[in-house]
């Protein structure tokens, strides 16, 4: 039996919800106001793709584990696909202009092009483009 989800919600702890919303808003993301309050917001990444930005204390109510210290640990890499190489650069440049920091230089692996950034809470985001021919 194959399992396939209808939606994905990535939950991320944030120190300052307002700062996070400003950062991602400046990048061009929208938020679902129905799922936004003082503890959380639902950032719309794409069709059926969401990031729940949860204030750290609220995030802790869902787990007994410590929140990763993103200054010296990577808890995940959130990879988003772009439509082309130019869009990869545009997304990361927006992130850097909005207050994010560069995680590395752009990586060109012929069929795949990517560039990564850290958001203000140190979460690692990778924006990538993969040519269709890579799967033929």
Q: What is the pLDDT of residues 29-76, one digit of tens each?
A: 999 999 999 999 999 999 999 999 999 999 999 999 999 999 999 889
Paired with 32 in beta bridges are 42
- Looking at CATH, the fold of the domain delimited by 1-61 is given as 2,3-Dihydroxybiphenyl 1,2-Dioxygenase; domain 1 (3.10.180)
Residue ranges with strand state E in 3-111: 8-14, 30-32, 40-46, 49-55, 77-81, 101-102, 107-108
Q: Do domains 1-61 and 74-136 have the same CATH topology?
A: yes
CATH for 74-136? 3.10.180.10
56 phi and psi angles, rounded to 5 deg: -50, -45
Specify the pTM: 0.91
Residue boundaries of the structural domains of the chain:
1-61, 74-136
Paired with 25 in beta bridges are none
50: left (phi over 0), alpha (psi -120 to 50) or beta: beta
User: Could you give the CA distance from residue 62 to residue 103 in angstroms, rounded to a whole number?
Assistant: 28
- What is the pLDDT at residue 110? 85
């Amino acid at each position: 039996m194959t399992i396939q989800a209808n939606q994905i919600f990535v939950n991320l702890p944030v120190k300052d919800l307002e700062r996070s919303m400003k950062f991602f808003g400046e990048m061009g993301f929208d938020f679902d106001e129905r799922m936004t309050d003082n503890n959380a917001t639902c950032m719309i990444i794409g069709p059926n793709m969401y990031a729940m930005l949860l204030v750290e204390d609220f995030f802790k109510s869902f787990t007994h584990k410590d929140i990763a210290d993103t200054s010296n640990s990577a808890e995940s890499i959130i990879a988003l696909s772009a439509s082309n190489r130019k869009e990869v650069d545009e997304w990361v440049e927006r992130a850097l202009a909005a207050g994010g920091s560069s995680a590395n230089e752009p990586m060109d692996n012929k069929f795949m092009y990517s560039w990564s950034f850290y958001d203000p809470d140190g979460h690692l985001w990778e924006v990538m483009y993969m040519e269709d021919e890579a799967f033929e």
